Amino acid sequence: MAKEKKQPRPKAETPKGFRDYFGAEVTERADMLAKIAEVYRAHGFEALETSAIETVEALGKFLPDVDRPNAGVFAWQEEDDGKWLALRYDMTAPLARVAAQYRNDLPTPYRRFTMGPVWRNEKPGPGRFRQFYQCDADTVGAPSVAADAEICGMLSDALEAVGIPRGDYVVRVNNRKVLNGVMEVAGVLDPADPSKFEEERGIVLRAIDKFDKFGEEGVRLLMGAGRLDESGDFTKGAGLSEAQADTVMGFMEAKRDDNAATVARLRELVTGSALGAEGVDELEQIASLLDAQGYGPDRIVIDPSVVRGLGYYTGPVFEAELTFEITDEKGRPRQFGSVAGGGRYDDLVKRFTGQVVPATGVSIGVDRLLAALRAKGRIGGTAQGPVVVTVMDRDRMADYMALASTLRTAGIRAEVYLGNPKNFGNQLKYADKRESPVAIIQGSDEAQRGVVQIKDLILGAKIAKDATVEEWKSQPAQFEVPTGEMVAKVQEILARYGAE
């Protein structure tokens, strides 16, 4: 028999480097972002949602010497006009485009927040995906450090709003101008010719950003002759003398017990540098603006060890760190670490209009913060499934749907089993897969007597695991109530397990 020739079946798989999010993964993130949005809106920030697609030109990813602009973005060519389009790789490039495009309509300053996926055409790795969420807030067109202070205070509020208690986080603030002042004092920055020593300063910046990883010794090697790592790879050093390195390290260690003392120490360190002094003044202003609003050093501190890796910051930089301990994959306790960061940058709109527009902003690491909330037990509780109304009698579907409807009216998640009801065991297996806390059972006998059986599935599972035969027989996990008392009884059980 000749078989009809068929197209091969497509493979059902998520494309490489992407993932699917199910149930609580989606709703927990949405809830967290909604709380952050509320804080941002309260501060006068307005939502912005640009399309996922930008012209490659606007993204700044166009490489004139290659046919296909693919440096890290997903890009393709338009059919009609041959223009290259691409998925956005961050939220800053679209903001730059919007700030330039609508500059006559938007208020100045323009405060905006945005939340959504971005895409990177990179090699995926463990925990590294090619699509992930970003959550940014930026103020465009405000030159004053009051804008930076506002972002720091707002970040602090946002962390508390999502459930990170005060004391479990700290927002650290520093200023690139102070670092540059220190570089000037150390002789690796010449205000008259900023391009001089640029490479050296880059190495120093990257070195001190890795203080946590390499320790003081490693950082000093990188500032000096260079560093040979365990694998035998050599990283070129900045070639600073020991005295120069001492000056820079002095900056890293300038943090004192309170902001005033830190400021005083920094002022000493930048003596002779006008830029450095300006930076210290700004830090002092930020601290005083925040103090006046009640953001004390228990929440926001000046910390010269924060430098942020990115080259484009021009003034204040900040980082939110979670200070509670978690256990790492090797069972060792460690601090949770950074969940957000940002700073001031001034080149945002210039690419489009030629005009320098000052901007400052913060980006929250959405996945990191969700992981932190999970580590703190703030999200990811049990008993999130719905109550399942089982089907004993196929003809009485309307009654079962009415029971589920009654539960929902009382604010309880509830559904009727809609598979083949023949095998009751399958219905309970289904309820198990749904993580249901409770099953409702009503055969025709119970219906006639106006009662329902309520099965506490969490207790049931516990008994099945631990109980003696006597306990098992007494079956406290399943009991009968008049139908009119169903809602109250179910609510009682849900309250016991902290379910929604």
Which of residues 4, 15, 233, 469 is near its own copies by CB under 8 A?
15
- How far, CA to CA in Å, does 494 sit from each of 177, 179, 210, 441? 56, 55, 48, 17
Is 138 known as a binding-site position? yes
Q: Which residues between 184 and 213 bind its own copies (CB under 8 A)?
A: none
Nearer residue to its own copies within complex by CB, 83 or 334: 83
Two tokens, residue 353? 């209009």
Nearer residue to its own copies within complex by CB, 102 or 312: 102
Is 90 known as a binding-site position? yes
Secondary structure (H, E, C), 154-175: HHHHHHHHHCCCCCCEEEEEEE
Which of residues 35, 72, 90, 121 is near its own copies by CB under 8 A?
121
Q: What angle do CA 30, 35, 41 make, to 5 degrees?
A: 120
d(CA 221, CA 311): 21
Is 91 known as a binding-site position? yes
Residue 423 touching its own copies (CB under 8 A): no
d(CA 134, CA 455): 42
Two tokens, residue 172? 């650290």
Residue span binding its own copies (CB under 8 A) among the ranges 201-209, 300-308, 323-331, 407-415: 407-415
Is 308 known as a binding-site position? yes
d(CA 61, CA 72): 8
Is 313 known as a binding-site position? yes
Q: Are 406 and 442 in contact (CB under 8 A)?
A: no
Residue 35 touching its own copies (CB under 8 A): no
Residue 147 touching its own copies (CB under 8 A): yes
Residue 46 touching its own copies (CB under 8 A): yes
- How far, CA to CA in Å, does 162 sit from each of 152, 333, 370, 379? 16, 24, 9, 10
- Cβ neighbour number for residue 81 with a 10 Å cutoff: 6
> What does the per-residue mask of binding to its own copies show for 56-95, with x meaning CB under 8 A?
-xx-x---------x---xxx-xx---x-x-x--------
- Of 276, 317, 306, nearest in space to 186 by CA: 276
Q: CB 109 → its own copies: shortest distance, Å?
A: 5
- Of 428, 485, 476, nearest in space to 451 by CA: 485
Q: Are 152 and 286 in contact (CB under 8 A)?
A: yes
How many chain residues touch its own copies (CB under 8 A)?
Answer: 103
Q: Which residues between 151 and 180 bind its own copies (CB under 8 A)?
A: 153
Q: Are 220 and 249 in contact (CB under 8 A)?
A: yes
Instruction: Answer positive or negative: Cα dihedral of 137, 161, 115, 25.
Output: positive
Nearer residue to its own copies within complex by CB, 204 or 389: 389
Nearer residue to its own copies within complex by CB, 10 or 126: 10
> What does the per-residue mask of binding to its own copies show for 318-357, with x meaning CB under 8 A?
---------------------------------xxxx---
Residue span binding its own copies (CB under 8 A) among the ranges 104-112, 197-205, 261-269, 486-494: 104-112
Which of residues 36, 91, 100, 493 is near its own copies by CB under 8 A?
100
Residue where the block lists tokens 């992981």: 371
Residue 53 touching its own copies (CB under 8 A): yes
- By the 10 Å C-beta count (0-12 exposed, 13-18 middle, 19+ buried), 143 is classed as middle
Q: Which residues between 252 and 291 bind its own copies (CB under 8 A)?
A: 288-289, 291
Binding residues: 90-92, 120, 134, 138, 308, 312-313
Binding residues for L-histidine: 90-92, 120, 134, 138, 308, 312-313
